[in-house]
Structures are given as structure tokens and as C-alpha cells.
Amino acid sequence: MKKTVDWLLALLLFSLPVKFGGLAVMPEAGGFYPAHPIDWLYLPFPPHSLAFAGMLMLLLALFTVKKKEYSPRLWIFAGAWMIIPALAALPGGIRGESVILTGELSLLLGCGSVIAAAALILSDRPERAMFFAGAILAGGVFTALYGWHQHLVTLDETRRFVAEQEAAGIAVSEGMHLKLTDPRIYSTLASSNTLASLLMMMAILGGFCGSRWSKSVSPPRTSRIFFLLLNCAVWLPVLALTRSRSVILCLSAAGLLALFSHPKISWRWRIAGFAAGLVIIAGGVFYAVHYGRGVASMGERADYWRTCAILCREYPLTGAGWGEFFRTHMQIKVSAVDESARDPHNVVAAFASQCGIPSGLLMLAILIYPLVLLWKRRFQKSLAGAVFWCGVIFTIHSFIDCDWQVPALIAVMGVLYAIGIVENGEKPLSLPGAGFALAATVILGAAAAGVWQSYIYLAGDKALSRLQDKVHPPTRQIAADLAPFTVEYLAGEAAKYRPASAVIPMITGDWYYQCGDLAAAETAFYRALELDPVRPAAYMRLARIALHRGDALKAESFRQQAQKLFPRSRHYTVKSLYRQE
């Protein structure tokens, strides 16, 4: 039975970057739920469904573990990564959107369940550490190779399919067009930067595993060179395709940390290494300006931090609430980049601004704590040493991108930390039966809460997806399947799970407008503003209704209200109003 459970966990770890790698979707847009079960074999699972797999693994782990001695550090780490982020997220529900809080709890507790299950199994069977690390590495390799396939084959197929849909009169969103014309976005992770974070971690893990495996292949020296070249061939070309500037920053920062913390490196080499790091970063900036996407988005990141600082000053203890960063930033941003950021791309800043400074500090502690545990083994040729540098990359990247919205990255890093802590070696302590029962109850309770939050989120997400597919059917088959249902019925089903969501009346309003029922559309858009007064798109739609009725003054008044809310957005200008009308 234990071997079966170990293989199931290995399969889950393999599938993390492959099946659960997608970005956690925002509540404004429903996910994709194919009708045929066979489609799930090659499509990523909805990110919020990870909690169900984590709960299953926890139950199996508790059923098979009989040992009464455990590593205190491993248990403390697993409990902290499972419970503390969820607790830190709770204050964001006081003022913020409940649906975002539900999504955050589902995501964090789901990842925590997987980490706790792995920690429990490793505490009983520490010899499985390398086996689980290999499963994670295999999943990373598959993701990289599948990304190549998508880049070389699938993107062209998708472009042709989208062209056929548009030729048939089916609307395709602007976001889809951007993805299909952006060569950086091609993996199951759906984002070049988050894919780059995973690839950097896998390159470190792959280098260590290759070095260890080469010892069992003769001759060892030649085998080591072969595995090194193979490791570079797998990761470096895909990293180059992501065109992620964060790769340069993360690797440079990690290299400087290694340089200045190694006890055997002289100050002469440290100074030379620091100068080389500056040259590399300057070269990266030069490339971004002349051959890449420029540095405008770097200024946008600085603008994110300004918004977070303002929110922290106004709501220091409980935060402005989930979703308020987006609203506030779009109102006060000073950069000219037309980007609608839902997240400041910094996990500490995201929690501090929306859940309060104490929550931000808790997330900072969660990031730093496992690195402290593994600090002394950072230069050892061991799995714990490799995990430490994976953690350094993950931590640095968590300060400059949205890693904590990607379940694969959180769960993979958490399991790797558990593997590293087991490899770190520690005298186990005896845990009484009552203590084990209490710890198991707490962990299972947190996992059950994650499952419940996941069910609520996924049910609402699927209902919203059906409503969106009804209004804008992506295929003829989906249009036929939804033909028996009215828009009003599907909107009511979605509202059962998300009664405070303004996006539902926005969708129905668009439908009424498309059908020519301006009065019903107007009512729906006013309803959306009741639920969310900071929604310029609703004002813009009211402006188009007024313009359609011939009332240009009223249309301009609505447009000005929209532009006042999001003054830097190009979607609410006079030109935009008349062009789209």
C-alpha cells in the first residue's frame, strides 16, 4: 500500500506543472470546462481543483503512515506553509471581494494540502526524497518539451481555428488575439514569466540530479559532462524563448548571494563578480530597450509599489481588501503603460496592501523561513543544497512576479522544501498518539476548508463560464448545447454562487445590447454599478446606449465618469467611444 501511495504522490508531483500549471483565473472571467471527459487528458485542470487532489493524498498518507517519530522542523514548515498564508489572506475579505478571497483560500489551502501530504510521507519514508524530486523534474521536462510543441505546432493550429471562428461571425476577445500574436506565451503555464520561474528552478534541480545520476554511469567524468550538456539543452533554449527579463535579475541576484556568502571566496573575486553582475544587468537592459519589449513595464512595476504604499498607509492593519489594488491603481497610476494589473506582482506587497501590513510580514516570514532552515547546507553537494538555490530563485521571483497565483509553483517549491529539510538531517522526536491525532485533525480541517472553498469557487466559475459561452459561444457545438437555456436562467445560476459579482449583470447587459433591447441593457449596467461603483466599463456602455439614442451630451457625461475612474486607460477616451460605436 505504501508503494502505491508513493507512486500516486509522484504522479501528482509530475502533473503539477503539466496539469495544474495554469494561472489562477480572476473572477472576472470563467475558466474552460470541456464537455467531453477525454479532453481533460491533455488540457490543464482548473487551478482551484488542486485542493481535491491534495485532500486525497492527505487521507492516503495518514492511512499508510504508522511511524510515531517525526522531524519537528518538517512538521513546523508544512503546517506553516499550509495554514499561515490562508490566515494572512482572511483580512482581505473585510473590505474586498468575497469571490477573490474564496479563490485565494482555495488556492493556498489546496497547495498546502499537497505540501502537508508530501511532508507526512517523507517523515515516514525519507528515502523517497530523491524519487519525489525526480518526479518533479520529469514534470518540468515534459512541460518544457510540450511548450516547444505548442510554440512550433499548436499556436499555428490555434491561429487557423480562431480565423475560422471569426469568419463564421463568432467574436474572439482582444486578450486571445494578444496571446496568439505574442510568441512568449506558449506553455501550459500561460505566462512567459511564470514559466521562466519554473524553468530556473528545474535547471538547478536537473543539474544536481544529473550530477548524482552520472556517478552510476561509466565513465563518471564523461557521463557528468553529458548530463550537464543535456540539462542545458533542455532548459536554456526554452528560457530564451520566454524572453523573460526577470531571468537575468533572478540569476544575477542568486549569483551575487552565492558569491558574497561563500566563506572561501576572497574579496577580490567578490568585487569582480559584483562588477560582472552589473555588466550582465546593464546588458539585459540594453537588450530590452533595443531588441526586446523595452523598459516601460519596469516603470509600471515601480508604480505598483507606489500604489501599495498608499494603500498600506491608509489601511495598515486590515488592508484595503481583495481587489482594491486593481481599482486604486487604475485610478492613481502615473505610468503611461496601458496595463490593467490585478496584482502588484509581489506577494508581500499584495498581501500588505490588500490584507494589511501584518499579513504582508507573515508572507515575508513564510518566504524566508525555509531558506533559514537550509542556509548551512547551501554549498553542500546535496539535494538540500540544490533545493536551497531553487528556493532563492522562487523567493526573488515572488518579489517581481505573480508566482503565488500559480498553484504549480507554490506546491512544487513547498514539496522541494520538504525534501530538502528531510535531506538536511535531524534527530526525530517521538510524538504521542494524542499529539499525532491533534496535528492530523488540524491539517485535515484545513484541507477540508480548502476543498469546500474550491467547490464554491469552481461551481461559480463553471456557471459564469456557461453564461459567457451563451453570450459569446466559442464553437458551434457549445452554442447548440446551450441553446435550451436562456441568458436569464444562466445568469441566475451564476448569481447563486456569486451574488455580489458585477460581472454577471455586465454580461447580461451586453447580451441585451447585442439584441437591441437598450432598456434592459441600461438596467443591467446600472445594476452592475450598484454592485461595483468603480466599474468604468459600465459607464462606457451606458455612454454607448445614450449615443445610440442620439443623446451625445449624456454619452459624453458617462464617458467622462468612466475616464475619471481609470484616467490612464485608452479604452475610455472620446476616440474610443465613437470608434467602437
Dump pLDDT digits (tens) for 332-358: 887 766 667 788 889 999 999 999 999
Q: How confident is the model at residue 68 (pLDDT cuts 50, 70, 90)?
A: low
Three-state secondary-structure class, residue 293:
coil
pLDDT at residue 15 in the model: 92
Q: Are 244 and 192 in contact (CB under 8 A)?
A: yes
pLDDT at residue 36 in the model: 77
> Identity (one letter) of the amino acid at 506?
M
Q: Which of 201, 208, 207 is nearest to 251 (CA)?
A: 201
In this predicted structure, the answer to whether residue 288 has a pLDDT above a threshold of 70 is no
Residue-wise pLDDT for 458-478, tens only, equals: 999 999 999 998 988 877 888
**Which residue has better confidence, 249 or 186?**
249
Take residue 315 and report the three cell numbers written for it: 489601511
Average pLDDT, the chain: 85
Q: How far apart are CA 59 and CA 447, in angstroms?
A: 10
Q: Is the dihedral of CA 395, 398, 404, 409 positive or negative?
A: negative
**Which residue has better confidence, 70 or 202?**
202
pLDDT at residue 187 in the model: 55
Take residue 565 and report the three cell numbers written for it: 475612474
**377 contacts: CB under 8 Å, gap ≥ 6:** 384, 385, 388, 420, 423, 424
Q: Could you give phi then psi for residue 341, rounded to 5 degrees?
A: -80, 125
Residue-wise pLDDT for 70-89, tens only, equals: 778 888 899 899 999 999 99
In this predicted structure, the answer to whether residue 136 has a pLDDT above a threshold of 90 is yes
Location of each CATH 1.25.40.10 domain in the chain = 502-581
Q: How far apart are CA 358 and CA 566, in angstroms?
A: 29
Q: How far apart are CA 406 and CA 403, in angstroms?
A: 5
CATH 2.40.50.180 fits 502-581, yes or no: no
Q: How far apart are CA 318 and CA 483, in angstroms?
A: 45
Q: How confident is the model at residue 426 (pLDDT cuts 50, 70, 90)?
A: low
Nearest-Å Rg of the Cα atoms of the chain is 25
